[in-house]
Amino acid sequence: MTTILRIDASIKGDASVTRRLGDKIVARLQADHPGATLMTRDVSAGIPLIDGAWIGAAYTPADQRNAAQKAQLALSDELIAELKAADVVVIGMPVYNFGITGPLKAWIDQICRVGETFVYTEAGPQGLVTGPRVIAAYASGGVPQGSANDLATPYLRQVLGFIGITDVRVIAAAGVAVDEAAALARAETQIAALAA
């Protein structure tokens, strides 16, 4: 059975292009995998930012953490468990000011955790999350996906690769501020071409 994890990060609610694309991507995945389990995580209202106490807890061996440190990492534990349980992760990636949203960055910071999603080795960092593939729903007002001004896509690929996820597909609706209908049509063509 296939498990889909959907992450929404747009602050635009029902007006969000990435949410609409996410709906279509999930529908396509569910059509290809009847009976798939869907987990959803809307981070748009905010996820706690990591801080010094969080880092201290993360670098303390699990069997030595006190109650406060365990509480500090509880959300991170939950988010990592969702990620590791997923076969496919659908990430809404709206582009604000050339990069990803603050809430999406906060989610990434919570899931990038030493000993849980990556380890340091003599050969360099090694990712520990090798199971899921990612489909990112990219939307921007005017930044073409893959252009020199697109800082979001390379960052997402880099950070996911760091934790072991290398199968990353981007569905792009770029230029929605210029011609939203055309941008959505291009994205829908890409969704239709998604392989099961």
Residue type for position 184? L
Find the mean pLDDT for residues 17-39: 96
Which of 104, 99, 177 lies closest to 145 in space, CA to CA?
A: 99
Specify the 3-state DSSP secondary structure of 4: strand
pLDDT mean across residues, the chain: 95
Does the pLDDT of residue 132 top 70, yes or no? Answer: yes
**Binding site residue list:** 10
Find the mean pLDDT for residues 175-183: 94
**Binding site residue list for FMN:** 10
Position 14 scores a pLDDT of 87
The model's pLDDT over 96-111, given as tens digits with 9 standing for 90+, comes to 999 999 999 999 999 9
Structure tokens at 53: 């106490």
The model's pLDDT over 42-71, given as tens digits with 9 standing for 90+, comes to 999 889 999 999 999 999 999 999 999 999
The model's pLDDT over 64-81, given as tens digits with 9 standing for 90+, comes to 999 999 999 999 999 999
Does the pLDDT of residue 122 top 80, yes or no? Answer: yes
Q: Please report, for the chain, the start and end positions of each structural domain, with discontinuous segments joined by +.
A: 3-192
Does the pLDDT of residue 189 top 90, yes or no? Answer: yes
How far apart are the C-alpha atoms of 17 and 118, rounded to whole Å? 32
Position 1 scores a pLDDT of 78
Find the mean pLDDT for residues 11-39: 95
Look up the CATH superfamily of 3-192: Flavodoxin domain (3.40.50.360)
- 151 and 186 Cβ atoms separated by less than 8 Å: no
Specify the 3-state DSSP secondary structure of 99: strand
The model's pLDDT over 138-166, given as tens digits with 9 standing for 90+, comes to 999 999 999 999 999 999 999 999 999 99
CA atoms within 13 A on the CB side of 26: 21
Total-model pTM: 0.95
Position 196 scores a pLDDT of 57
